[in-house]
Amino acid sequence: MQKHKVTFLPDNITTMVEDDTTILKAAEQANVFINNLCGGEGICGECRVQIVRGNAHPDRHSIEFLTVEDIKKGFVLACYTRIHEDLAVSIPVKSRTGKDKIVLSGSPVVYSKPEKVFQQTGDESISSFDPVVSKIYLELPEPTLNDNISDIDRLTRALQKMTHLQKHDVPLPVLRNLARVVRESDWKITVTVAKHHKTGRILKIEHSDTANKNFGLAVDVGTTTVVAQLVHVPDMKIVGTEGSHNLQARYGEDVISRMVYACNQGNMDSVHQSVIKNINELLHTLLTEHNIKAEDVNAVVAAGNTTMSHFLLNLPPCAIRIEPYVPTASVYPQIHAEDLGINIAKQGIMEVLPSVAAYLGGDIVAGVLACGIADRPEVRCLIDIGTNGEIVIGNNEWLVCCSASAGPAFEGAGARYGMRATSGAIEKIEIRNGKIILSTIDNVKPRGICGSGLIDIIYEFVRNGIIDQNGRFDMSRQDRRLIAEEGDPRYIIAVAEDTDGGQAITVSESEIANLIKSKGSVFAAIKSLVDYVGLTFDQLTDIYVAGGFGSSINISKAIGIGLLPDVDTEKIQFIGNSSLTGARMSMLSTQALEKTRKIASRMTNVELSTYPPFMNEFIAALFLPHTDSKLFPSVSYKK
């Protein structure tokens, strides 16, 4: 079959593809990222690219997303445009990925002794150091006629004294090398032991004392980003943390799009391999920066939502998106990382934190572990806002949870100039005396607007009377920034000469309506869950907000538009990347890992799609801040 050369600009990356390949597939082959929300289904219009050399024409699927002027300039949708000759393709600023503003850290919420990973109420406490994989130095007594038990019995006898585990499984490759290694080492050896359900598994035996060469990798497998943290296990020290954009985004912005792509198009392995590549690249960066060998990394503990956990383990997630929403598994086995192609020690293990339900995964379980709401008598709330809004309320006696589909609006998707929290994204906005004051990530020229910026601008719009409390523009205003465009009024946030792309950045009335629906969904979920357990917002001792989005938002403005409950702002705490924190805690404590299983089993999931009060709450929340002003007594839109 004939092949064609495709060059992607501005990076000048070239690849050869077969005739009739889509531009999106060519970009994937060239490892070039092009934004798309729908997994290449042609229904989002986000993968706009410009043909600058050669001929390629938009098909009928593209027309509704392109203006006549766009078509004249050579714009097409990458997902539906097929290659029949050599091309040079320019990827516009909005369609590229940038360096995400990724929350790389988070800490357990500590109530008492800081040397503990966490502290339970009552007499039982969880030790801070009982790692999933330990390296134990042993000096074994040499065999004698009076003590001539087998080499493996001699080894396990010593291990039982050190680990208090009664059983140690021994893989055949380890057993084959045992006799040689113990004698070459004069019976002074280091044994690497993985623990799983109170059973030890010997991973390797090394000469002399190498107990200090023991590292673990905690991973947060998020829908948008993947974050990896390298930890020196013996002293629990964080060596370094790295994060990157989730490569699966090329198959769709949200988990539903990726499931459709993986299951309907038979591309499961491609989606799986993307996240493995993410982890290996982050691991390689960490190892190189700190001059550590991959063979000294013995464990990976990962947390992600249910779909991400399935993709990570290459488990079919196809039934998750179809009623009655059934995952393949909720509790995952301990496996060898090499079986997934993760480049750590040959016999190194991997643990994936358990899920609760189809849309409540190990990331929220890790968050509950990290913030400790399952360990205290006071009632607390955890909110993780992303593509899904995941909420947990409870204490040491009970836990209830739910997931609300917020859509990707809080990550800047669905808006013409929306973008993730990457370099150039407008993240903070204030309107002062009619003047717009904005700040961008990295303090560079604006490229677009991210979720926190959208929250700010909606609050500022309504506070300044630019929109009413239904989210509609006041078209009677004499305001040159307010423009009518194809029946969807827009407001200019940044004028063309001030932006990176040379185009004015605007927000439209329909985009505001989309975000109001997203914030309404999250608030309605929180309100439904509080009502479900018979409480009021004032009875919550603390509200923890987790994740990258939470760390960027202005609490007062989030309350002001009705996203977060109107409570004393001192009660609301950002706790960073609680998914990563919970994964690290589980790696350093087998008791913490076991606790995640108990937490998951204790969490009662309220399925909002079948919970009648939710729809009423959702409709009531489609107002700024809410149709019931009594729920937001502190909110005033007076200047």
Q: Share the mean pLDDT of the chain.
A: 88
CA distances from 312 to 305, 342, 384 (A): 10, 11, 21
What's the pLDDT tens digit per position in 600-610? 999 999 999 89
298: nearest Cα among 206, 221, 226:
206
d(CA 94, CA 416) in angstroms, rounded, equals 9
Taking only the tens place, the pLDDT of each residue in 93-139 is 666 655 555 555 666 664 433 333 333 333 333 446 899 999 999 99
Residue 534: other Cβ atoms inside 10 A: 7
Taking only Cα atoms into account, the Rg of the chain, rounded to an integer number of angstroms, comes to 27
3-class DSSP state for residue 144? strand
For the ranges 247-256, 279-288, 521-530, which has the lowest average pLDDT? 247-256
Residues 579 and 561 in one domain: yes
Q: How far apart are CA 299 and CA 349, in angstroms?
A: 5
Mean pLDDT of 15-29: 85
Residue 440 pLDDT class (50, 70, 90 cuts):
very high
What is the model's pLDDT at position 468? 95
Domain boundary among 506, 523, 554: 506
**Can the peptide bond before residue 377 be classed as cis, meaning omega within 30 degrees of 0?**
no
pLDDT band, very low/low/confident/very high, at 563 (cuts 50, 70, 90): very high
Q: Write the pLDDT tens digit of every residue in 192-219.
A: 999 988 889 999 999 999 999 999 999 9
- In 3D space, the residue among 237, 307, 299 whose CA is nearest the CA of residue 272 turns out to be 307
- Residue 66 placed within a domain: yes
Same domain, 302 and 265: yes
Can you give the pTM of this predicted structure?
A: 0.85
Q: What percent of the chain has pLDDT over 90?
A: 65
Q: At what angle do helices 306-313 and 255-264 cross, to 10 degrees?
A: 40
Higher pLDDT, residue 335 or 167: 335
265 and 338 housed in the same domain: yes
Question: Within a 13 Å sphere around the CA of 14, how many CA atoms are in the beta-carbon half?
Answer: 6
Strands 399-405, 603-605: pairing is parallel
Cβ atoms of 507 and 592 closer than 8 Å? no
- The answer to whether residue 118 is domain-embedded is no
Residue 475, SS3 per DSSP: coil
Q: Are strands 297-304 and 215-221 parallel, antiparallel or unpaired?
A: parallel
Considering the domain architecture, whether residues 149 and 275 belong to the same structural domain is answered as no
Q: Could you tell me what percent of the chain has a pLDDT over 70?
A: 90
**Same-domain check for residues 616 and 520:** yes
- CATH number, domain of 59, equals 3.10.20.30
Can you tell me the mean pLDDT for 173-186?
A: 95
Q: Has residue 413 been placed in a domain? A: no
Q: Which of 144, 173, 207 is the last residue of a domain?
A: 207
Condensed to tens digits (0 to 9), the pLDDT of residues 61-81 reads 666 677 777 777 788 888 878
* Domain of residue 550, CATH code: 3.30.420.40
117, part of any domain = no
Tallying the residues shown for the chain, one arrives at 639
Cis peptide upstream of residue 408 (ω within 30 degrees of 0): no
User: Is residue 424 domain-shared with residue 477, that is, in the same domain?
Assistant: yes
* Average pLDDT of the segment spanning 350-376: 96
Q: Are residues 532 and 477 in the same domain?
A: no
pLDDT score recorded for residue 221 = 96
Q: What is the pLDDT of residue 85?
A: 85
Smallest CA-to-CA distance from 39 within 270, 328, 279 is with: 270
Predicted local distance difference test score (pLDDT) of residue 114: 30
Q: What is the pLDDT of residues 288-329, one digit of tens each?
A: 999 999 999 999 999 999 999 999 999 999 999 998 999 999
Identify the band that residue 173 occupies on the pLDDT scale cut at 50, 70 and 90.
Answer: very high
Q: Is residue 426 part of a domain?
A: yes
In the prediction, which pLDDT does 111 show? 42
Average pLDDT over every residue of 526-538: 96
Residue 636 is predicted with a pLDDT of 83
Query: Could you tell me if residue 180 is inside a domain?
Result: yes
> Does residue 242 share a domain with residue 195?
no
Can you tell me the mean pLDDT for 31-36? 77
Is 92 a residue whose pLDDT tops 70? yes
Q: Report the side by side order of strands in the sheet with 215-221.
A: 237-245, 225-232, 215-221, 297-304, 349-352, 335-336
User: Where does a domain end: 95, 114, 149?
Assistant: 95
Q: Are residues 422 and 375 located together in one domain of the fold?
A: no
Does some domain include residue 122? no
Q: In Å, how far are 144, 393, 454, 540, 568 from 558, measured between CA atoms?
A: 73, 20, 10, 18, 13
pLDDT at 391: 96
Closest to 346 measured CA to CA, from 199, 178, 204: 204
Per residue in 396-409, pLDDT tens? 999 999 998 876 67
Structure tokens belonging to residue 555: 């609490």
Residue 417 in this model has a pLDDT that exceeds 80: yes
Is pLDDT at 37 greater than 80 in this prediction? no
- How high is the pLDDT of residue 361? 96
Q: Are residues 291 and 260 in the same domain?
A: yes
Domain of residue 51, residue span: 3-95
Q: b/e string for 62-92 if b means 16 or more Cβ within 10 A?
A: beebbeeebeeebbbbbbbbebeeebbbbbe
Q: What integer is the mean pLDDT of 241-248?
A: 91
CATH code, 166: 3.10.20.880
- Regarding whether 325 and 220 lie in a shared domain, the answer is yes
Q: Do 10 and 73 reside in the same domain of the chain?
A: yes
> What residue ranges in 110-162 does DSSP mark as E strands?
133-139
What band does 89 get if pLDDT is binned at 50, 70 and 90?
A: confident
Question: Which CATH number goes with the domain that contains 277?
Answer: 3.30.420.480
Does residue 450 surpass a pLDDT of 80? yes
Number of domains in the chain: 5
Is 432 a member of any domain?
A: yes
- Residue 121: predicted pLDDT: 33
Give the integer Cα–Cα distance in Å for 575 and 580. 11
